[in-house]
């Protein structure tokens, strides 16, 4: 099954949360990547039928999602908020999901779903006694109980320990390989890269980039980088570097150089060569803008 968004916007008063997004989410694993506040949750809520687009349409295999509770036969949703009844046991929670779906054998479905997320052992404890990761897993189990063709997960790895994270990643990959349509949101590139075959990047409500992880990684690494460099002779190094086209600009500061590299790979090879040729010792080379915010702001400026 596929989810199609066509020129979807959503605004709250004067604030635009999602701006004219068109994308198709097909079978396999898609990662929705973007910094916090980019509108990922808003977009996901619109896909899950929990928010009306202010403009545009969201459809699941051609049928409109908004005000249509029949879509939940095909969609499993793992919301970001806890949203689990603390007074129920894990078993009761997942079983209730199976019954709410009207499954023919709710017991078997609930058992299978709990086994899938490795929650059989603590299933008879109340949800309120669970750790955050365990709650996340029963939520996933409840979302999987009817074996949906589409699974939507909002920041699913938040609050999980590394082992649980790996396990959920494997689970998502396996389901994606089995032909399910899976979309999950995250603000961590490495997370998305490990799991998703396809990545959609959302920045400030706009669809900034789309492609497989290699393309996104290339877009992100081939952007201009800013390096801080300390060496035995900053001035000589600066003079030598500026001769090459990969160095866009150099600022000489009392505590070292700031080099704007226009081509990351070329510059990475150039720097040690030049230093050796000039007889300059490199004391420190560090990227000054490796944080995600600057990567994203580069992407959004590029697409604008």
Partner 1 sequence: MNTVVAGITYRALLGRRRVVLLLLLPMALVGLAVLLLAFGAADQRTAMQLMDKFAIGTMLPLLGLIAGTGVIAPEIDDGTILHLMSKPISRPVIVQTKFLVAASLLALFAAVPTYAAGWLLVRNEDGIAPGFALGALVAGVAYAAVFLLLGIVTRHAVTIGIVYALVWEGLVGNFVPGARKLSIQQWAKSIADQISDSAFLRADVTISFAVPALVVVTVIAVVWAGRRLRVFSLTGDE
Least distance in angstroms from the C-beta of 86 to partner 1: 9
Q: Using the rule CB under 8 A, which residue among 14, 62, 81, 190 binds partner 1? A: 81
Can you give the chain as a three-state secondary structure string?
CCEEEEEEEEEECCEEEEEEEEEEECCEEEEEECCCCCCHHHHHHHHCCCCCCCEEEEEECCEECCCCHHHHHCEEEECCCCCCCCCCEHHHHHHHHHHHCCCCCHHHHHHHHHHHCCCCCCCCCEHHHCCHHHHHHHHHHHHHCCCCCEEEECCCCCCCCHHHHHHHHHHHHHHHHCCCEEEEEECCHHHHHHHCCEEEEEECCEEEEEEEHHHHHHHHHCCCEEEEEEECCHHHHHHHHHCCCCEEEEEEECCEEEEEECCHHHHHHHHHHHHHHHCCCEEEEEECCCCHHHHHHHHHHHHC
Q: Does residue 1 belong to the site contacting partner 1 (CB under 8 A)?
A: no
Q: Does residue 178 belong to the site contacting partner 1 (CB under 8 A)?
A: no
Least distance in angstroms from the C-beta of 286 to partner 1: 32
Can you give 22-38 as a three-state secondary structure string?
EEEECCEEEEEECCCCC
> Which of the ranges 25-33, 48-56, 217-225, 234-242 carries the binding residues for partner 1, by CB under 8 A?
48-56
Q: Using the rule CB under 8 A, which residue among 24, 61, 64, 83 binds partner 1? A: 83
Q: Using the rule CB under 8 A, which residue among 3, 5, 23, 51 binds partner 1? A: 51
Q: Does residue 208 belong to the site contacting partner 1 (CB under 8 A)?
A: no
Least distance in angstroms from the C-beta of 128 to partner 1: 11
Q: Using the rule CB under 8 A, which residue among 24, 63, 64, 87 binds partner 1? A: 87
Q: Using the rule CB under 8 A, which residue among 91, 93, 213, 267 binds partner 1? A: 93
Nearest to partner 1 of 151, 169 (CB atom): 151
Q: Does residue 293 belong to the site contacting partner 1 (CB under 8 A)?
A: no
Residues 126-155 that bind partner 1 (CB under 8 A): 142-143
Nearest to partner 1 of 66, 218 (CB atom): 66
Q: Does residue 55 belong to the site contacting partner 1 (CB under 8 A)?
A: no
Q: Which of 34, 116, 35, 30 minimizes the C-alpha distance to 47?
A: 30
Q: Does residue 109 belong to the site contacting partner 1 (CB under 8 A)?
A: no
Q: Does residue 283 belong to the site contacting partner 1 (CB under 8 A)?
A: no
Residues contributing to the site for partner 1 (CB under 8 A): 12, 17, 37-42, 45, 48, 50-52, 67, 69-73, 75-77, 79-85, 87-88, 93, 96-97, 99-102, 142-143
């Amino acid at each position: 099954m596929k989810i199609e968004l066509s020129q979807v916007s959503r605004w709250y008063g004067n604030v635009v949360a999602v701006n004219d997004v068109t994308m198709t989410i097909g079978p396999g694993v898609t990662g929705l990547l973007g910094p916090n506040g980019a509108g990922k949750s808003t977009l996901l809520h619109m896909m899950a039928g929990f928010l009306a687009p202010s403009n545009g349409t969201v459809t699941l295999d051609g049928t409109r999602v908004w005000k249509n509770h029949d879509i939940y036969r095909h969609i499993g949703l793992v919301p970001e908020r806890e949203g689990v009844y603390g007074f129920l046991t894990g078993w009761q929670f997942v079983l209730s999901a199976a019954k709410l779906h009207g499954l023919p054998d709710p017991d078997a479905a609930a058992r299978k779903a709990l086994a899938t997320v490795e929650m059989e052992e603590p299933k008879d404890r109340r949800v309120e006694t669970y750790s955050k990761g365990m709650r996340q897993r029963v939520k996933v189990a409840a979302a999987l109980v009817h074996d949906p063709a589409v699974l939507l997960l909002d920041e699913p790895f938040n609050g999980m320990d590394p082992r649980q994270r790996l396990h959920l990643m494997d689970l998502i990959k396996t389901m994606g390989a089995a032909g399910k349509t899976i979309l999950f949101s995250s603000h961590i590139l490495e997370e998305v890269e490990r799991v998703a075959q396809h990545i959609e990047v959302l920045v400030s409500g706009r669809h900034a980039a789309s492609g497989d992880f290699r393309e996104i990684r290339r877009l992100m690494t081939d952007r201009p980088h800013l390096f801080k460099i300390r060496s035995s002779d900053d001035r000589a190094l600066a003079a030598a570097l500026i001769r090459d086209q990969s160095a866009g600009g150099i600022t000489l500061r009392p505590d070292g150089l700031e080099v704007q590299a226009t081509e990351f790979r070329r510059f990475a090879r150039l720097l040690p060569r030049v230093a050796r040729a000039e007889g300059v010792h490199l004391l420190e080379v560090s990227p000054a803008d490796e944080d995600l915010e600057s990567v994203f702001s580069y992407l959004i400026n590029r697409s604008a």
